[in-house]
């Protein structure tokens, strides 16, 4: 990053990273991060059956997609409604690379992330001059465009039928099918850890601070030398990489690809994870992904009532707690802490 942003040179290099008031020190966050993910890594010991593990794997995938969406939506303030298209691009990139081009699955997984990133850069171009609702509409249009292209090229992509028998991932000679899904569980968890680490480091960096500055006061940020074009592209590209990888992993895990990933219902669920968790936290989206995925499973007996109950729940939380579950936790924690320690 060029030094044009701060004309006043500071005495020491450590001051380069801006510390916002009320921000958790990184040491504390690192401890919480390690403990939290270590607990997740121990979950297969409790949940031995493959179905429970399957639910957890899906929750991890959704958590990656939702937390990356939080980067562009929450921190960047860019309403990218094509985020699920980036996920879908990951799904189809992996499927086509492994099935038609016969790439090694791991290379294809990585390449899918790169392809999704390139697609994100491409979609940034038309929205550079736009704001708010217009960004929603163009990115929404982009998602539909990608879907229509995939449907129309049915000779390669399988069209509305989708693709089946997609090669899965492998770990040396380990049998991926008969291990009670534990290999896929740990790969998904590793991806979530990598993605979360990347997102948290990004939002705590100078670049992260600059995209928040652009969101909160664009004129001032631009006048201080933050490039809106470069930072917006950076935001979307950064949010796309792990989203694409999550899509590729989803395809490898499910062993099939279908056009449903572009549908409104998945987008609504993931978006509610982002908003339910509370934007601009990263962790909120991850927590909400677990809560919603497990909640949806827990309600499996309700059948047709399930989506309706979920919808009512989403509306209820949005009306009562505009800052989402994290705001809800903070508010109740504040009430508890207030009782324990009365302010002077």
Q: Which residues bind other proteins (CB under 8 A)?
A: 73, 79, 125-126, 129-134, 136-138, 140-142, 144-145, 148-149, 151-152, 264-265, 268, 271-272, 275, 279, 304-305, 307-308, 310-312, 314-315, 318-319, 322
Least distance in angstroms from the C-beta of 95 to other proteins: 20
Q: How far is the CB of 218 from other proteins (least distance, A)?
A: 11
CB of 313 to other proteins, least distance (A): 9
Tell me if residue 292 falls in helix, strand or coil: helix
Provide the token pair at 155.
């000779």
CB closer to other proteins out of 52 and 313: 313
Pick 209 or 314: Cβ nearer other proteins: 314
Can you tell me the distance from the alpha carbon of 165 to that of 124, in angstroms, rounded to the nearest whole number?
33
- Complex with other proteins: residue 98 or 139, whichever CB lies closer: 139
Let me know: does 277 contact 284? Beta carbons within 8 Å: yes
| Nearer residue to other proteins within complex by CB, 19 or 216 | 216
Query: Is residue 88 within 8 Å of residue 293, measured between CB atoms?
Result: no
**Least distance between other proteins and beta carbon 236 (Å):** 15
Alpha-carbon distance 61 to 68, whole Å?
A: 11
User: Please, what is the minimum distance in Å from the beta carbon of residue 96 to other proteins?
Assistant: 18
Of residues 191 and 267, the one with the C-beta less far from other proteins: 267
Minimum Å gap between C-beta 154 and other proteins is: 9
Backbone angles phi, psi at 311, to 5 degrees: -60, -45
Q: Report in angstroms how near the CB of residue 337 gets to other proteins at its nearest.
A: 26
In the complex with other proteins, which residue's Cβ is closer, 43 or 145? 145
Q: How many C-alpha atoms does 244 have within 13 Å on its Cβ side? A: 25
CB 170 within 8 A of CB 105: yes
Phi/psi of residue 163, nearest 5 degrees: -120, 145
Cα distance between residue 224 and residue 218, in whole Å? 10
164 and 255 Cβ atoms separated by less than 8 Å: yes
**CB 145 to other proteins: min, Å:** 4
Residues 6+ apart with CB under 8 A from 247: 65, 86, 87, 88, 89, 90, 91, 92, 93, 94, 112, 116, 261
Nearer to other proteins, 52 or 136 (CB): 136
- Gyration radius (Cα) of the chain, Å: 21
Looking at beta carbons, which pairs linking 220-223 to residues 24 or more positions away fall under 8 Å?
A: none
Q: How far is the CB of 73 from other proteins (least distance, A)?
A: 8
Cα–Cα nearest to 211, from 229, 184, 185, 197: 229
Q: Which C-beta is closer to other proteins: that of 76 or that of 105?
A: 76
State how far the Cα of 123 lies from the Cα of 117, in Å rounded to an integer.
10
Nearer to other proteins, 44 or 141 (CB): 141
């Amino acid at each position: 990053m060029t030094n044009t942003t701060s004309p006043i040179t500071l005495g020491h290099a450590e001051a380069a990273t801006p510390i916002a008031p009320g921000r958790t020190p990184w040491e504390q966050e690192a401890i919480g991060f390690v403990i939290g993910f270590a607990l997740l890594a121990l979950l297969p010991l409790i949940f031995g059956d493959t179905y429970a593990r399957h639910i957890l794997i899906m929750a991890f995938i959704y958590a990656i997609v939702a937390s990356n969406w939080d980067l562009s939506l929450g921190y960047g303030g860019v309403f990218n409604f094509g985020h699920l298209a980036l996920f879908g691009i990951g799904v189809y990139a992996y499927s086509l690379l492994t099935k038609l081009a016969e790439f090694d699955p791991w290379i294809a997984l990585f390449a899918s992330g790169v392809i999704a990133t390139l697609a994100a850069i491409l979609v940034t171009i038309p929205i550079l001059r736009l704001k708010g609702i217009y960004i929603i509409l163009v990115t929404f249009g982009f998602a539909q465009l990608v879907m229509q292209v995939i449907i129309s090229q049915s000779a390669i992509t399988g069209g509305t039928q989708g693709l089946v028998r997609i090669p899965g991932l492998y770990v040396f000679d380990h049998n991926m099918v008969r291990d009670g899904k534990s290999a896929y569980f740990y790969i998904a968890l590793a991806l979530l850890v990598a993605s979360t680490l990347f997102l948290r480091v990004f939002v705590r960096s100078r670049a992260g601070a600059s995209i928040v500055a652009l969101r909160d006061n664009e004129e001032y940020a631009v006048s201080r030398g933050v490039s809106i074009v470069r930072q917006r592209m950076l935001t979307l590209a950064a949010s796309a990489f792990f989203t694409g990888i999550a899509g590729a992993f989803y395809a490898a895990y499910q062993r099939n690809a279908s056009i449903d990933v572009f549908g409104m219902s998945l987008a609504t669920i993931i978006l509610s994870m982002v908003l339910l968790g509370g934007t601009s936290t990263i962790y909120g989206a991850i927590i909400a992904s677990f809560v919603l995925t497990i909640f949806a499973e827990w309600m499996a007996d309700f059948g047709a009532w399930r989506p309706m109950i979920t919808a009512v729940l989403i509306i209820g939380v949005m009306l009562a707690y505009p800052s989402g579950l994290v705001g809800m936790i903070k508010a109740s924690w504040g009430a508890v802490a207030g009782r324990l320690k009365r302010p002077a």
